[in-house]
Structure 1
Amino acid sequence: MGVRKPTLRSVAEAAGVSTATVSYAFSRPDRVSAEARTRVLAVAGELGYAGPDAKGRSLRTGRTGAVGVIFTTGLTYAFTDPYVTAMLAGLAEALEPSRTSLMFIPFGEVSAGMAPDQVRRSVDAVHRAMIDGAVADGLDDDHPAVRVLAERGIPLVRSNETAAGPSVVIDDRQAGRDVGRHLAGLGHRDIVALVATPHEPGRVVEVTEQTPLFPYSRLRLTGLRESLPADTRLRVISGGSNSALAGQVAARAVLRGSERPTAIAADSDVLAAAVAGVARERGLWLGAGLSLTGFDDQPVAAELGLTTVRQPVHRKGFLMGRMLVDPDSERGRITLPTELVVRRSTGPAPSVRLGE
């Protein structure tokens, strides 16, 4: 006969307390005395009891104590991209007081041409996730993950202006205008917009291919176009997966030969930093032979003297989390401010002398 698995009730009996006290000792220690909790945990350790079953508790209470984060760029992105790590830090800060856990939920990039079985596996992962709410960055209303969460009645907070429902956003279109006006004012008429896409880095992204871009990229491109003079040549080039390696491949393609632009407006500081490295290889001085802008104002931007759009990423993550754990504190949509931070990476276009 096998050894009986310890239960909440057997721990309560052995400790001489109620089952509620045992439950509180693990999940709500503020509800029991320090002495009672110490006794319960000691008995639980002796019996090999690890705590109430999370699945069973969620069925009884209707809550799991977890918030999901939807990733369409791979889970490793959460640990390597400075924008994502800053957003997650803010999110965790908002969730920590309520002891709410974070669950990372991978979902393949639909616009990259996922096979039906890949979409099905991703959808199943969202269906199975035991979460009370979710956060998604850069997903449109018709994204399969968004639809599944809506069907399940799971509260969702997003960070793009196209979102219907609770969201924490910046005015990406206006930020694009700010970049465009700055470059146009410096005399630049041959500009490349370098954006993260599911396409291979370095290839031209035609207008007909720009619909699947992330919502924020589409809005920034719209603002950029609106602010540039009619005689400006603007090319949209894929930066690939928004990584240093992909950015380097894209930069080498853009800076090769006679088609080199006078300015590059990168969709992130990650891509801009990659361009800066390749520019150095080619003997180009930023702000002189080539102007370069980024987006986010991560620490690397100041190190490189990069002109970039500053956005409060940590604050964005914090407010998204607070919308989920305390929906009465924040409602609807919050728009956070941005600022174009001008540094030495931008200057007059070659052969242009301002003020003459």
Structure 2
Amino acid sequence: MDGRLTLKTVAAAAGVSTAAVSYAFNRPGRLSEPVRERILAVARELGYAGPDAAGRTLRTRRAGAIGVIFTVGLSYAFSDPYVLAMLSGLTEVAEPARTSLVLIPFDLGADGHDDDGLREGLVAVHRAVIDGAIADGPADDHPAVLALAARNIPLVRSSTTASGPSVCIDDRAAGVDVGRYLAGLGHRDVTVVVACPQPPGVPVPVVDEATLYPYSALRLAGIREGLGRRARVRVVSGGRNAPESGRAAAALVLDGDRRPTAIAADSDMLAAGVLDALRQRDLEPARDVSVSGFDDSSLAGPAGLTTVRQPVREKGRLMARMLLDPDFTERRVILPTELVVRSSTGPATHH
């Protein structure tokens, strides 16, 4: 194929105008079927695949796509029920609007200073042919956020700490609900399991809270507030948000000298790992150690997990509407949460 093939090349070979060639690829209803078929046949013979998407965007300011920024690898993201629910909400709005989703991984590695990850992420953001972007969680100083701002790409995020448009929940208030509930059951010795920027399954017995994801820091602060000053709160992690991280974090406290009466995980994925760790030690949730999660994802109900319900699909829908629906003028939406009590929690028992 000749890389210099253009609309003009095809138009000259087919004996039509360049506009007719553009219509054949982008607006077929403007041409009769025989004319369109003849143009496409000539294009195939020449090896012309169609107008360049990036070039078309520069002219029309409409790529017909929005980017979804993932601060983790895509293989991990698609294992998370929260992410899948959010994507489902996005597509409910994007599909009727004939808008595609461009998935953009921007993984900075365990310590947040992976030069290769940074370089690859920046290249992906700068090359993406998109009209806007959605990101779940990154702070204002994240390189992806800064790169999108440099391109003047509209961005919607899902964090209460984000400047600019956002659809979020009040993570701290939801954490307060968890803490107050556990305190009401008599729990005064509570371990909080959080996600942190480490590989999944790596025990972190002393967490540097300054490095926590914004949502984790807010939920932790809320749980502490809800439990009150008399409670003993230990914060541990097992790495990024994954069941193996929950198992590793739970092992730190279940195998220690002083077992907590409750473990509050800041996601259902982590809580699932905590429940696994209990089963491995023949301990029963609620009877021996109470366990709570966060999100009320698809795995929470079958596991009998007490958790905070947030409307994840609705979050995805509203984030997409902020970018795609001109009649949707709100720039900041805070969605409600609800504490859902199930069988994984019960009154505190003294060990």
Q: 1:163 to 1:300 in 2, by over 3 A?
A: same
Number of matched pairs? 349
CA contact (8 A) 1:24 1:31 kept: yes
Question: What one-letter code is carried by the residue in structure 1 that aligns with 2:203?
Answer: G
Greater CA drift, 323-332 or 75-84: 323-332
CA contact (8 A) 1:140 1:163 kept: yes
- Structure 2: runs of 5 or more not aligned: none
Question: What one-letter code is carried by the residue in structure 2 that aligns with 1:319?
Answer: L
Question: What one-letter code is carried by the residue in structure 1 that aligns with 2:75?
Answer: T
What corresponds to 1:138 in structure 2? 137
- Residue 17 of structure 1: how far off its partner (Å): 5.3
Q: Distance in 2 between matches of 1:308 and 1:282?
A: 22
Greater CA drift, 130-139 or 244-253: 244-253
Greater CA drift, 74-83 or 118-127: 118-127
Q: Distance in 2 between matches of 1:312 and 1:7?
A: 47
TM-score, reference length from structure 2: 0.90
What corresponds to 1:267 in structure 2? 266
- Residue 249 of structure 1: how far off its partner (Å): 1.8
- Residue 122 of structure 1: how far off its partner (Å): 3.4
- Residue 322 of structure 1: how far off its partner (Å): 1.4
Greater CA drift, 67-76 or 108-117: 108-117
Q: 1:63 to 1:184 in 2, by over 3 A?
A: same
Q: Distance in 2 between matches of 1:263 and 1:119?
A: 38
Name the SS for the 1:135 alignment partner: strand
Q: 1:277 to 1:22 in 2, by over 3 A?
A: same
Name the SS for the 2:96 alignment partner: helix
Q: 1:100 to 1:32 in 2, by over 3 A?
A: farther
CA RMSD of aligned residues (A): 2.6
What corresponds to 1:57 in structure 2? 56
Question: What one-letter code is carried by the residue in structure 1 that aligns with 2:92?
Answer: E
Q: 1:155 to 1:110 in 2, by over 3 A?
A: farther
- Residue 267 of structure 1: how far off its partner (Å): 1.1
What corresponds to 1:315 in structure 2? 314
Q: 1:351 to 1:251 in 2, by over 3 A?
A: closer
CA contact (8 A) 1:67 1:132 kept: yes
- Residue 29 of structure 1: how far off its partner (Å): 4.4
- Residue 251 of structure 1: how far off its partner (Å): 2.0
What corresponds to 2:108 in structure 1? 109
- Structure 1: runs of 5 or more not aligned: none
Q: 1:13 to 1:194 in 2, by over 3 A?
A: same
Asked if 1:149 corresponds to 2:148, the answer is: yes
- Residue 97 of structure 1: how far off its partner (Å): 2.3
Name the SS for the 1:112 alignment partner: coil
What corresponds to 2:187 in structure 1? 188
What corresponds to 1:256 in structure 2? 255
- Residue 191 of structure 1: how far off its partner (Å): 0.6
Name the SS for the 2:48 alignment partner: coil
Question: What one-letter code is carried by the residue in structure 1 that aligns with 2:205?
Answer: V
Cα-to-partner distance string for 1:60-100 (whole Å, 9 max, x where unaligned): 22333222222222222221111111111211222222322
Cα-to-partner distance string for 1:301-327 (whole Å, 9 max, x where unaligned): 111111011111111111111111224
Superposition pairs for residues 169-318 of structure 1, below 5 Å?
Answer: 169-199=168-198, 201-206=202-207, 209-318=208-317
Q: Distance in 1 between matches of 2:103 and 2:214?
A: 21
Q: Distance in 2 between matches of 1:35 and 1:65?
A: 28
Flag as ranges the 4+ runs of structure 1 deviating above 6 A: 2-5
Q: Distance in 1 between matches of 2:28 and 2:236?
A: 54
Question: What one-letter code is carried by the residue in structure 1 that aligns with 2:51?
Answer: P
